[in-house]
């Protein structure tokens, strides 16, 4: 069974308090970087892998998608999605993305927001995604940055007074499971190198069309405590690719 | 005037002692990753930016290049290149790559090995390279990895007994000058993000064909003291791209 942390009531309640949960896309530090990297949605069939509350599904629907299928392993997340982000073209379905399968050429766009670092076998997922997409289809996803996942703790290295010294990188080339703490709970994540992320795309018939390490926008740096520290290390990676 | 550290006699002498200087390509930890990413050289016109001792120029010549132009700012490095890696098709020329210019479509291949982290304005260099290359031309280079250049010291973070704890990342999004220590000498290098490296390629008409963070080969890990630590952090980045 895949880990389904988001159906843990304590974790789910904590996640609901995050800005990205309460405010949606505008509360997500990476949104200003991600939005211009998204493809045209008009008239296209869209799949969102790990759709969570459905913010990106709703965005695709609002931008003219013909159909949007949001998959998530968490029943609780999907309940929120169905309540807050319903639309005639959107279907939400409970499924682990690793176990999902579709006919070849089922979609024009595959999206995923901050879910792939929970996936053990990224290469297998990219192979399936390449098959599910029609030629010329777009694949855009964000994930945790390899710098952020390598060492495992996902925490700053601090001096004895608690001041941040730097962010630690270790075991970079040793891919696989990491036990991180997120919202005070232990969560299993998977580290892989940048080489693995980009290589899986290039070796499965995708052309890379964009790569970004999003920085929080200046207004967040100015108004949210500790946000300036996010200029000291990359936390997320966004990749955009086109099936050739 | 561009910094010309390699004409400093002390630095030059220390550099000459490195495995990559004495043994050439086989003494360079990244060679086993770089070699398969190199393009076909047969019958093609090749430019090497920062050619140093000329190891890569010689390799291109041995693999059938029609012409090879090696540029380097250092007179001393070029003297070694001319002595050790001469060939009828190779010309070595003293020039700072930032100040070099050529007619549009002068080359089929542009190479660079571990030189671009000395360049202030990488975007300007990629714009020129795109112009110098013929359509379908190949651009392959290695540089220091953004993880390795971000914090600046390029040194491990150690405990009070000198044991390595991890590698520090800091000021990742703050691009520009860093004062590093290399071979015991202060050297000015320039940090830039992965986003900047890849983005400069994509925005100048290149298709990314390869990305690798080379690991030292197992036989080096097994036989060279401390080489196993190089599995803990990425030190180099190799990018391969094709002009469309």
Choose the weakest-confidence range: A198-202, B98-102, B167-171, B218-222. B218-222
Choose the weakest-confidence range: A17-21, A84-88, A148-152. A17-21
Give the distance from residue A73's alpha carbon to the nearest chain B alpha carbon, in angstroms. Answer: 31
Tens digit of each residue's pLDDT (9 = 90 or more) over A47-62: 999 999 999 999 999 9
Q: What is the pLDDT of residue A206?
A: 98
Average of per-residue pLDDT across A85-102: 97
Q: What is the pLDDT of residue B210?
A: 98
Binary contact (A213, B193; C-beta < 8 A): yes
How much is the mean pLDDT over chain B?
A: 95
B170 touches chain A (CB under 8 A): yes
Choose the weakest-confidence range: A195-209, B52-66, B213-227. B213-227
Is pLDDT at A220 greater than 90 in this prediction? no
How much is the mean pLDDT over chain A?
A: 95
Q: What is the pLDDT of residue A163?
A: 96
Tens digit of each residue's pLDDT (9 = 90 or more) over B152-164: 999 999 999 999 9
Identify the CA nearest to B228 among candidates A145, A178, A147, A170: A170
Is pLDDT at A32 greater than 60 in this prediction? yes
Binary contact (A208, B208; C-beta < 8 A): yes
Give every CB contact of residue B175 below 8 A, 6+ residues apart in sequence: B190, B191, B192, B193, B196
Is pLDDT at A2 greater than 80 in this prediction? no
Q: What is the pLDDT of residue A89?
A: 98
A168 touches chain B (CB under 8 A): yes
Q: What is the pLDDT of residue B218?
A: 87
Interface mutation target, options B154, B173, B174, B218, chain A, most CBs of A under 10 Å: B173
Average of per-residue pLDDT across B159-187: 94
Report the percent of chain B where pLDDT is more than 90.
Answer: 80
Name every chain B residue with its beta carbon within 8 A of the beta carbon of A166.
Answer: 151, 157, 168-170
Give every CB contact of residue A18 below 8 A, 6+ residues apart in sequence: A27, A183
- 0.90 cut: is pTM over it? yes
Q: What is the pLDDT of residue A3?
A: 81
Binary contact (B170, A232; C-beta < 8 A): yes
Name every chain A residue with its beta carbon within 8 A of the beta carbon of B195.
Answer: 211-213
Pick A166's closest partner by Cβ from B168, B173, B199.
B168
What's chain B look like in SS3? CCCCHHHCHHHHHHHHCCHHHHCHHHHCCCHHHHHHHCCCCCCCEEEEECCCCCHHHHHHHHCCCCEEEEEECCHHHHHHHHHHCCCCCEEEEECCCCCCCCCCCCEEEEEEECCHHHCCCHHHHHHHHHHHEEEEEEEEEEEECHHHHCCCCCCCEECCCCCEEEEEECCCCCCEEEEEEECCEEEEEEECCHHHHHHHHHCCCEEEEEEECCCCCHHHHHHCCCHHHHHCCCCEEEEEEEEC
Helix, strand or coil, per DSSP, at residue A230 = helix
Name every chain B residue with its beta carbon within 8 A of the beta carbon of A169.
Answer: 147, 166-169, 232-233
**Tokens standing for residue B192:** 């830039």
Tens digit of each residue's pLDDT (9 = 90 or more) over B62-102: 999 999 999 999 999 999 999 999 999 999 999 999 999 99
A156 touches chain B (CB under 8 A): no
The CA–CA distances, whole Å, from B123 to A22, B42, B192, B227 equal 39, 29, 11, 33
Name every chain B residue with its beta carbon within 8 A of the beta carbon of A234.
Answer: 172-173, 193-194
Q: What is the pLDDT of residue B217?
A: 83
Q: What is the pLDDT of residue B4?
A: 85
Angle at Cα A205 formed by Cα B133 and Cα B32, nearest 5°? 65
Give the distance from residue B150's alpha carbon to the nearest chain A alpha carbon, in angstroms. Answer: 9
Binary contact (A202, B208; C-beta < 8 A): yes
Average of per-residue pLDDT across A161-190: 94
Is pLDDT at B26 greater than 90 in this prediction? no
Name every chain A residue with its beta carbon within 8 A of the beta carbon of B147.
Answer: 147, 169, 172
Binary contact (B211, A198; C-beta < 8 A): yes
Q: What is the pLDDT of residue A216?
A: 81
Which pLDDT band holds residue A185 (cuts at 50, 70, 90)?
Answer: confident
Dihedral (C-alpha) B112, B185, B172, A123: value to the nearest 10 degrees? 50
Is pLDDT at A30 greater than 70 in this prediction? yes
What distance in Å separates the CA atoms of residue A147 and residue A191, rounded to the nearest whole number? 9
**Tokens standing for residue B147:** 């993880």
Binary contact (A234, B168; C-beta < 8 A): no
Which pLDDT band holds residue A204 (cuts at 50, 70, 90)?
Answer: very high
- Predicted complex ipTM exceeds 0.90: yes
Q: What is the pLDDT of residue B206?
A: 98
Is pLDDT at B37 greater than 80 in this prediction? yes
Helices (H), chain A: 9-16, 19-22, 31-34, 55-62, 75-84, 122-132, 146-149, 194-202, 218-223
Q: What is the pLDDT of residue B2?
A: 75
A36 touches chain B (CB under 8 A): no
Give the distance from residue A165's alpha carbon to the nearest chain B alpha carbon, in angstroms. Answer: 8
A170 touches chain B (CB under 8 A): yes
Helix B75-84 / helix B9-16 crossing angle, nearest 10 deg: 40
Give the distance from residue B119's alpha carbon to the nearest chain A alpha carbon, in angstroms. Answer: 21
Identify the CA nearest to B217 among candidates A197, A173, A169, A175: A173
A134 touches chain B (CB under 8 A): no
Give the distance from residue B36's alpha carbon to the nearest chain A alpha carbon, in angstroms. Answer: 14
A193 touches chain B (CB under 8 A): yes
Q: What is the pLDDT of residue A94?
A: 97
Binary contact (B171, A232; C-beta < 8 A): yes
Is pLDDT at A1 greater than 70 in this prediction? no
Choose the weakest-confidence range: A233-237, B6-10, B200-204. B6-10
């Amino acid at each position: 069974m895949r880990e389904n942390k988001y159906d843990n009531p304590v974790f789910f309640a904590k996640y609901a308090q995050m800005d990205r949960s309460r405010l949606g896309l505008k509360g997500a530090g990476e949104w200003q970087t991600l939005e211009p990297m998204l493809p045209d949605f008009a008239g296209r069939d869209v799949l969102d892998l790990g759709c969570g509350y459905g913010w990106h599904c709703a965005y695709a629907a609002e931008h003219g998608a013909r159909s949007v299928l949001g998959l998530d392993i968490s029943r609780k997340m999907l309940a929120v999605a169905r309540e807050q982000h319903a639309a005639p073209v959107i279907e939400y379905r409970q499924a682990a993305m690793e176990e999902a399968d579709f006919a070849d050429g089922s979609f024009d766009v595959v999206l995923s927001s901050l879910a792939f670092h929970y996936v053990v076998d990224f290469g297998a997922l990219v192979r399936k995604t390449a098959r599910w997409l029609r030629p010329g289809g777009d694949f855009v996803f964000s994930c945790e940055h390899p710098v952020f996942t390598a060492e495992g703790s996902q925490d700053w290295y601090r001096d004895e007074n608690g001041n941040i010294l730097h962010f630690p990188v270790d075991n970079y080339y040793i891919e696989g499971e990491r036990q991180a703490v997120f919202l005070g709970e232990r969560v299993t994540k998977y580290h892989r190198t940048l080489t693995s992320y980009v290589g899986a795309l290039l070796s499965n018939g995708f052309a890379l069309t964009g790569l970004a390490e999003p920085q929080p926008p200046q207004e967040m740096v100015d108004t949210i405590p500790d946000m300036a520290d996010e200029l000291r290390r990359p936390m997320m990676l966004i990749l955009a690719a086109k099936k050739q």
